[in-house]
Structure 1
Amino acid sequence: MNKLNKITVFCGSSEAVDKEYFTDVEQLGQVLAENKIEVIYGGGNLGLMGALARSVLHHGGKVTGIIPRKIYENVAHIELSELIIVDTMHERKAKMYESGDAFIALPGGIGTLEELTEIFTWYQLEYHNKPIGLLNTKNYYAPFYTMLEHMVTESFLHKRYLEPLLKEDNPSKLVERIQTHTVPLMNKWKQDDIGDRI
């Protein structure tokens, strides 16, 4: 079992999405709270971000939000366990990345995709070997996996680097897999194909 005290979660803030997304995220919040896993997230109160935070708190869990000052000054807030205000988006992401023992990407927009792909890139470059879970509600991440498989086929990505990605449509099963999956620490620089696939 991986020792998971904190999970960093990337998620969208749109309110105009299918209710099924909210249902799964609320269930995920309950599971994380019941497993006493603190949630680190972007500090917002809308969309899946807000739904996750409220669910964790409702079920007795702990939530820490990390938010840039510019966003903090323009949005309403949930009463979180802790809210950390930083100056820039870069500071926000760095603090979110370093705080979690694992990562979960919920369905989201371009910001969520950016955070997911960056932390995935960092795995390839040996900055971490933490699990990366994808909550695949309504098969949301199928196109993303299709793109990754295309990268493998075209030799822009080696399939071994897909190791940390754990895709599940069931929130409970996703948390279970994250808790039990050991991600190998890759050493890109000693591989035979060192010249490719960043």
Structure 2
Amino acid sequence: MKRLAVYCGSATPADPRYMELAREVGATLAAEGIGVVYGGGRLGLMGAVAGSALLKGGEVIGVIPEALVSAEVANYDCDLTIVSDMHERKAAFTRMADGFLILPGGVGTMDELWEAVSWAQLGYHAKPIGVLNAFGFYDHLLAFNRHMAEVGFVRTQHTGLIMSEHELDLLLERMRAHEPVHPIFKMRSDEL
């Protein structure tokens, strides 16, 4: 994994553990020679990941839509690409990264996570998707994902698409060992 798309919040929660986590992730990725592809802003967790990676000499590529350049305080310290909209932004993340690392975040982070999962199921990419479930932040989301599989809305061969760990080193290890799944685009009608 040369680069990971890091999806996380642009907000700064009151609990300081989240910002510290983001700084640790940025520093760790830089130390391991893994570039960061992220939302291109200076604020919140995303800004902390990028700033920490840059301080450690890591590669940081920001992708930000024109409309958010001023709203998210665009980070011109990184290799910044300004795109026309969110669709182009997410396509760029997928194109430039070798996998997806999801930290705590809100609605935008959920949008990015579920698109990465959906595209992997379909076969638009075969990249690892790792959820860093720090502080149990994603416990309910992971339980809901299991529920969708139990009911039958997630195919058996796709239940392992979301890898989750509480520790970054364990998650990166699993992501490096990722084996692509059999995507929907390659399934016969009787497999669907």
Scaled by the length of structure 2, what TM-score is found? 0.92
C-alpha distance in 1, partners of 2:77/2:189?
44
Q: Residue 188 of structure 2 aligns to which amino acid in structure 1?
A: K
Q: How does 1:20-169 map to 2 (within 5 A)?
A: 20-169=17-166
- Give how far 1:45 is off: 1.0
Q: 1:191 to 1:178 in 2, by over 3 A?
A: farther
C-alpha distance in 1, partners of 2:189/2:77?
44
Q: Residue 164 of structure 2 aligns to which amino acid in structure 1?
A: K
Structure 1: stretches of 5+ with no match in the other structure: none
**Higher RCO, 1 vs 2 (CA within 8 Å, ≥6 residues apart):** 1
- Give how far 1:94 is off: 0.8
Tell whether the 8 Å contact from 2:9 to 2:106 is kept in structure 1 after alignment: yes
Could you say which residue in structure 2 is the equivalent of 1:190? 188
Q: Residue 122 of structure 1 aligns to which amino acid in structure 2?
A: W
**CA RMSD, Structure 1 to Structure 2 (Å):** 1.5
- Give how far 1:191 is off: 6.9
- Give how far 1:163 is off: 2.1
**Where in structure 1 do 4 or more consecutive aligned residues deviate above 3 Å?**
none
- Give how far 1:111 is off: 0.7
Q: Residue 75 of structure 2 aligns to which amino acid in structure 1?
A: I
Q: 1:19 to 1:147 in 2, by over 3 A?
A: same
Q: Secondary structure at the match of 2:37?
A: strand
Identity %: 37
Scaled by the length of structure 1, what TM-score is found? 0.90
Superposed CA offset, 1:159-183 (max 9, x none): 321223211111222222222x222
Question: How many correspondences in the alignment?
Answer: 190
Tell whether the 8 Å contact from 1:28 to 1:172 is kept in structure 2 after alignment: no
Structure 2: stretches of 5+ with no match in the other structure: none
Superposed CA offset, 1:4-58 (max 9, x none): 1111111101113421122222111111101111100001111100110011011
